[in-house]
Amino acid sequence: MVLTARNLEKAKLAAAELGSQVMAAELEVSDLLSAKALAHDLEKKFKKVDVLINNAGIIGNKPATAFDLLEIKQVFETNFFGIITTTKALMPLLQKSPEGRIINLSSGMGAWADLTGGYAGYRLSKTALNAFTVLLANELATTGIKVNAMCPGWVKTEMGGASAPRSVSQGADTAVWLATEKQIPTGKFFRDRKPINW
């Protein structure tokens, strides 16, 4: 297992907490050269990638009526374009797996029914990520690579804050399930291992 972060030292600390089987690597998701360097290292060490979990994300809290293009662009750079960049770099290694899987960490805040206001950059980036998930799943349907999105819920992380009701393990459960379950669908959106509406 490989855990990545923009800061290699932080990645190493997080990996150490998870055990000796977890390797740390540096990755800036919005930088294609960084993603290609990661792909090169993974190919040398493992030859293939079985599961890609796209978990990078930042939040923007301004409403759509603020029309803050800078904030929206910054959020999209990580939450949307960063996912595309990383997936592009690792796709050749996923294609070497007998059943590659791509899991995109999205949010219910990007679901059509929940576009109620606030956090415009974040909501729009997750809506776009959901659409990308469906599109990629359909285009890869004949390859054996399965692509799904999931909502971890409001989780106690640096971004979620201490008042969030869900633990990190609760938030990660669906991703682990999608990564390890023998038979899974493709092109779906999940929360707590159950399909939810886009």
- Among all residues, which ones are annotated catalytic? 122
Cβ atoms of 118 and 70 within 8 Å: the answer is no
Cβ atoms of 86 and 29 within 8 Å: the answer is yes
CA 28 to chain centre: 13
Whole-number Cα distances in Å, 170 to 98, 112, 159, 162: 29, 24, 16, 15
- How many angstroms separate the CA atoms of 154 and 129, rounded? 18
> What tokens does 135 get?
């599109």
> Three-state SS for 142?
coil
Task: Kindly tell me the sign of the dihedral angle through the C-alpha atoms of 131, 184, 93, 14.
Answer: positive
